[in-house]
Amino acid sequence: MSAKSTATGANAVGTDDAYNPYLAHRYPNSQAAKPVNGNDPLHGLIPRRVTATQAVNIMDGEINPFTKKPLSPNYKKILEGRKKLPVFAQIQDFYDLYSKNQIIVMIGETGSGKTTQIPQFCVYSDLPHTKGKMIACTQPRRVAAMSVAQRVAAEMDVELGKQVGYTIRFEDMTEAGTTFLKYMTDGMLLREAMNDPTLSRYSTVILDEAHERTLATDILMGLLKEIARNRADLKIIVMSATLDALKFQKYFGSPEKPAPLLKVPGRTFAVETFYTQEPEPDYVEAAIRTALMIHHAEEPGDILLFLTGEEEIEDACRRIRAEAEDLERQHPDTVGPLNCVPLYASLPPREQQKIFQQAPGPKTPDGPPGRKCVVSTNIAETSLTIDGIVYVVDPGFVKSKIYNPRIRVESLLVAPISKASAQQRAGRAGRTRPGKCFRLYTEKDFMKELEEQTYPEILRSNLANTVLELMKLGVKDLVHFDYMDAPAPETIMRALELLNYLAALDDEGNLTEMGRIMAEFPLDPQMSKMLIISPEFKCSNEMLTLSAMLSVPNVWLRPNNQRKEADIAKAALAVPGGDHLSLVNVYNNYIENKYDSQWAWNNFLAVRALQQAENVRNQVQRLMERFDLDLVSTSDERKFWQNIQKALVCGYFMQVAHKEGEKNNYLTVKDNQVVALHPSCGLDATPEWVLFNEFVLTTRPFIRTVTEVKVDWLLEYAGEYFDIKTFVDGETKRALQRAVAKKTGVPYLETRPSTGKRSRDGSETPSEARRKKDRKGK
Ligand SMILES: Nc1ncnc2c1ncn2[C@@H]1O[C@H](COP(=O)(O)OP(=O)(O)OP(=O)(O)O)[C@@H](O)[C@H]1O
Ligand SMILES: [Mg+2]
């Protein structure tokens, strides 16, 4: 390292006595910094003026500049590989743009080294640790954030969770004061922005996989644009392999002066693509057949197969395992063992990690090698490098969310993927060696039928949570927020309406104290509301349990060959009032049985989900404590379940259905959708009013996780929403009228003038009633 420092000393910059090498640019007549320590490999660097030669020299050194320990042989081995990545060839181009611009758009082939290298390049130039700042790199998916952080920690020869870490919902693998490179889900960065609106902890923010256009990334883009105006020191990089670059450049710059683009050509290993000659009538069948064909006939190398959802994946795994065993038996000399591993979002992180395990070895010393087959949803579509994957099987479908604001229903539908997705999927092969991608659709369909890009999530989601987050971020004018693609005004209106009914926003659209607390919970607004209100109903312990149980995968197991036994076990744990109550009961029994896996197993309960619930419950409990929300249960046994039902009404009163006619049909309140109780529903009767957690569309519209509620509670705790005047004529309205008449003793007359007395409107909760009374009294 050069020692020709010509620094003029501390006085040059005023009050600081200690000479700070990283403020060298502020010292007149100085090009480089004075050594703090002669061994510091970073000595002499001027932040954000670093050259490729300087950075590579340090990487090639013997001492780790961040830990000051000798660099390991593994580091050096990985570094050799890194230097071959296309991104590495353009490190100086990157630094030129990074030094001179605040916002850069970057595009480079899958596997070219964007996610792993660019943040590291930033580290060497930005030197965030010297200013107590961090570099954030966002990922749309948790599994990507975790695995990339792990890889980069290895590349930088540091321990994961120290200098390099990750943050995902319910898990923070960083160390305050030590971590300076943080991979995180886009949702987590958005959450941080709520409490730190200028993202002051970060010196560079990298939005990765921006083509996915997740809700959180879209909102972050709007926010970052605004923050950038006020923070000249903040650098922003937006990247992906499959971006519509010009659209992003214009958005971050202007149509006349688009933001600069760094384009990295080339890839490390080729991926050969194959199409089917004819369209496949059944994509699951075709996918399973293709995986088995590869296992039977192709060279060694692991398989990654994309399907759409948990059930489909588990089912496919079972079939692939069974048929692969047959193949192995029939061809012991050519077909080795196959390890089939599922991957989907609701799988606990520990299970997800299994996709990174090595393929099984040969059964006998001379036998054919084994193979791994990962069957995944699109969570493995971007970012991931699974070492060993050579073959990708892409049937071309994804389960995608759509929201209908008119009936307030968000549903998941299987739909064709976009070209960008297909390219990302293919890009999971060819990372550590050449690969092959089998597309189970025709080339003509790829060219003609698939959309170029994935439709932005913001245009197809319920925005209640997002609007609450934006309000917390201080964005008042939701309609004119700088969206890359603005959501439908009706969707925003629906969200505002819900938040107003939940008392998170007042009638002027301002965030209330309740709304402020709700925004702190990483849960749906309805669920946060129910939790925050629950101490007033003396059931906060139970609601905490319920929120955890509703946040984890289904706990009820129902194996095909033991359905009857499973149903009997479920009935024994069910509470007659409804599924929500049964979930609380299951958890309480799990605790009474001392978290015993065997007990769970005997009762056909998913141990993993129960364990996850325990974890989520602990985390949400900490939030409750932070806001001084009492953790209480009633001592009055008769009221135990009823209190829970009442607190549920306070959160989920917009998800209520009324029984109509004789056929056990229900009509959702106000939205008037005809629905049936889902077959999994544990109610033994069909009560007049029910509250549901989910609307699902399969063979017909169903409501799932359903609990009985009383009309009096609806009137009392959600009086505004259940104001009869707002209902169209029909059975639901008549039922409400009857209930009001019964309650007040006055027959309801539609045209009755307002008396100013609003007793039948009821007040939302005991405390809100009290507050209203207090206000009147003043
Ligand atoms: N866990 C890993 N094990 C082995 N090699 C890895 C690993 N992670 C990354 N690599 C290597 O680094 C390369 C670059 O990975 P990186 O994730 O940075 O690419 P990328 O440009 O972000 O790709 P994508 O657009 O698909 O996200 C990979 O192609 C692979 O060769
Ligand atoms: Mg990447």
Contact between 91 and 118 (Cβ < 8 Å): no
The most distant pair of C-alpha atoms in the chain lies apart, rounded to whole Å, by: 94
Contact between 264 and 109 (Cβ < 8 Å): yes
Q: What DSSP state is assigned to residue 42?
A: T
The C-alpha angle with vertex 619 and arms to 615 and 620, in degrees rounded to 5, equals 115
Q: Which residues of the chain have pLDDT under 70?
A: 1-38, 748-778
pLDDT for the residue numbered 236: 98
411 pocket-lining for ligand 1 (C-beta < 6 Å) = no
Nearby residues for ligand 2 (ion, Cβ within 5 Å)? 114-115, 383
Please give the distance, rounded to the nearest whole angstrom, from the Cα atom of residue 428 to the centre of ligand 1: 9
Q: Return the closest-CA partner of residue 630 out of 542, 513, 716.
A: 542
Order of strands, edge to edge, in the sheet holding 261-264? Answer: 171-173, 164-168, 181-185, 134-139, 202-207, 235-240, 103-108, 261-264
Please give the distance, rounded to the nearest whole angstrom, from the Cα atom of residue 78 to the centre of ligand 2: 17
Domain boundaries, the chain: 52-264, 271-455, 462-520, 524-651, 654-744
Concatenate the DSSP letters of all residues of 51-94 into one string.
Answer: -HHHHHHHHTSSB-TTT-SBPPHHHHHHHHHHHTSHHHHTHHHH
Domains 271-455 and 462-520 agree in fold:
no
> Tokens 């095909």 identify what position?
560
Contact between 694 and 704 (Cβ < 8 Å): yes
Element (H, E) at 105: strand 103-108
264 pocket-lining for ligand 1 (C-beta < 6 Å) = no
Q: What DSSP state is assigned to residue 22?
A: G
Order of strands, edge to edge, in the sheet holding 302-306? Answer: 271-275, 435-439, 389-394, 302-306, 371-376, 338-343
Q: Using CA atoms, how far apart are residues 439 and 276, in angstroms rounded to an integer?
A: 7
Residue 362's SS3 state is coil
Closest ligand 1 atom to 356 CA: 1
pLDDT in tens, 676-718: 999 999 998 999 999 999 988 878 899 999 999 999 999 999 9
Q: Using CA atoms, how far apart are residues 744 and 758, in angstroms rounded to an integer?
A: 11
Residue 101's SS3 state is coil
User: For 242-308, where are the E strands, in sequence order?
Assistant: 261-264, 271-275, 302-306
User: 138 has which bridge partners?
Assistant: 184, 207
User: 305 has which bridge partners?
Assistant: 375, 393
139 pocket-lining for ligand 1 (C-beta < 6 Å) = no
150 pocket-lining for ligand 1 (C-beta < 6 Å) = no
Helices marked H in 536-668:
540-551, 563-573, 579-592, 597-602, 607-626, 640-652
337 pocket-lining for ligand 1 (C-beta < 6 Å) = no
Contact between 160 and 173 (Cβ < 8 Å): yes
| C-alpha distances out from residue 552 to 197, 212, 315, 693, 747, Å | 30, 25, 20, 13, 46
pLDDT in tens, 615-627: 999 999 999 999 9
pLDDT for the residue numbered 24: 47
Q: Return the closest-CA partner of residue 433 out of 33, 66, 29, 81.
A: 81
| Sign of the dihedral defined by the CA atoms of residues 306, 308, 309, 311, in that order | negative
115 pocket-lining for ligand 1 (C-beta < 6 Å) = yes
Please give the distance, rounded to the nearest whole angstrom, from the Cα atom of residue 456 to the centre of ligand 2: 19
Please give the distance, rounded to the nearest whole angstrom, from the Cα atom of residue 110 to the centre of ligand 1: 8
Contact between 70 and 150 (Cβ < 8 Å): no
Q: Using CA atoms, how far apart are residues 400 and 376, in angstroms rounded to an integer?
A: 15
427 pocket-lining for ligand 1 (C-beta < 6 Å) = yes
The C-alpha angle with vertex 302 and arms to 416 and 370, in degrees rounded to 5, equals 140
Contact between 294 and 368 (Cβ < 8 Å): no
Contact between 515 and 499 (Cβ < 8 Å): yes
Sequence letter at residue 673: Q
Residue 300's SS3 state is coil
Q: Which ligand is nearest the CA of 147, by number?
A: 1
Query: How are beta strands 338-343 and 371-376 bridged, if at all?
Result: parallel
Please give the distance, rounded to the nearest whole angstrom, from the Cα atom of residue 728 to the centre of ligand 1: 57
Chain centroid to CA 114: how far?
A: 21
Contact between 711 and 758 (Cβ < 8 Å): no
Ligand 1 pocket test: which of 141, 385, 389 has the largest number of ligand atoms within 8 Å of its C-beta?
Answer: 385
| C-alpha distances out from residue 304 to 297, 312, 356, 550, 723, Å | 16, 15, 12, 30, 53
385 pocket-lining for ligand 1 (C-beta < 6 Å) = yes
110 pocket-lining for ligand 1 (C-beta < 6 Å) = yes
Could you please state the CATH topology (level 3) that the domain comprising 462-520 is classified under.
Answer: Arc Repressor Mutant, subunit A (1.10.10)
Q: Which ligand is nearest the CA of 431, by number?
A: 1
> Tokens 């709520």 identify what position?
194
Label residue 293 left, alpha or beta by phi (over 0 means left) and psi (-120 to 50 means alpha): alpha
Q: Using CA atoms, how far apart are residues 735 and 592, in angstroms rounded to an integer?
A: 41
pLDDT for the residue numbered 170: 79
Ligand 1 pocket test: which of 431, 433, 437 has the largest number of ligand atoms within 8 Å of its C-beta?
Answer: 431
Q: How many residues does the chain have?
A: 778
Please give the distance, rounded to the nearest whole angstrom, from the Cα atom of residue 404 to the centre of ligand 2: 32
617: phi then psi, degrees, rounded to nearest 5? -60, -45
Chain centroid to CA 507: how far?
A: 31
User: 643 has which bridge partners?
Assistant: none
| C-alpha distances out from residue 182 to 114, 153, 513, Å | 15, 10, 31
Could you please state the CATH topology (level 3) that the domain comprising 52-264 is classified under.
Answer: Rossmann fold (3.40.50)
Q: Which ligand is nearest the CA of 433, by number?
A: 1
241 pocket-lining for ligand 1 (C-beta < 6 Å) = yes
Return the CATH architecture of domain 271-455: 3-Layer(aba) Sandwich (3.40)
Written as six digits, the tokens of 725 are 């005047």
Q: Using CA atoms, how far apart are residues 285 and 124, in angstroms rounded to an integer?
A: 49
| C-alpha distances out from residue 426 to 137, 431, 436, Å | 23, 10, 8
Q: Using CA atoms, how far apart are residues 725 and 189, in angstroms rounded to an integer?
A: 43
